[in-house]
Amino acid sequence: MNEIEIVTKKRNCLFVFPAKFQYKDLAPVFPELLDYFMRICNQYPEEGGDEYMFMLIEQNMRDLRKNRKPMGHNREARYRMIFPYGRKGVQFFIYPRIAQEESKIDDITEKVSTFLEQKGIKHDILWNQMVFLQEEKKR
């Protein structure tokens, strides 16, 4: 019998944290995580970057410190990190805003995962969980 390998293109990733993990558990590493993410995606703002990053970090930290889902950030960037609504537990997506950037999602995901592992934060990664985004691209 011949084996058939099905290869699916990785379009987005979902970081899923253990059931007992809370938003406030992400707070100690979030400023460094966000800064790292922006740098590996080559989208750290050049002009006024430090002030912009401070604002993004503070907006999210207010919620994380109160153990609430943060709003996410960098909505206009090529790669986005968002915390989805309507899902149980602590999770966040990383996805490219345009399809041409999908080829780098694997590398970015690996780097963010390694960062979290180095900080002692356990997590799983699920691929292509943003069904709405995938349906939108098919149109």
Which structural domain, as residue segments, surrounds residue 41? 13-138
Q: Does residue 40 lie within any of the structural domains?
A: yes
Tell which residue, 34, 113, 114, has the closest CA to residue 77.
Answer: 34
> In this structure, what token pair is assigned to residue 2?
């011949």
- Express each pLDDT in 37-49 by its tens digit: 999 998 887 777 7
* Statement: residue 75 has pLDDT above 70: no
Number of domains in the chain: 1
Q: Which residue has the tokens 């694997």?
A: 106
Q: Does residue 31 lie within any of the structural domains?
A: yes
Q: What is the pLDDT of residue 137?
A: 47
Conformation bin of residue 103: beta by default, left when phi > 0, alpha when psi is -120 to 50 = alpha
Residue 139 CA to residue 133 CA, distance in Å, equals: 10
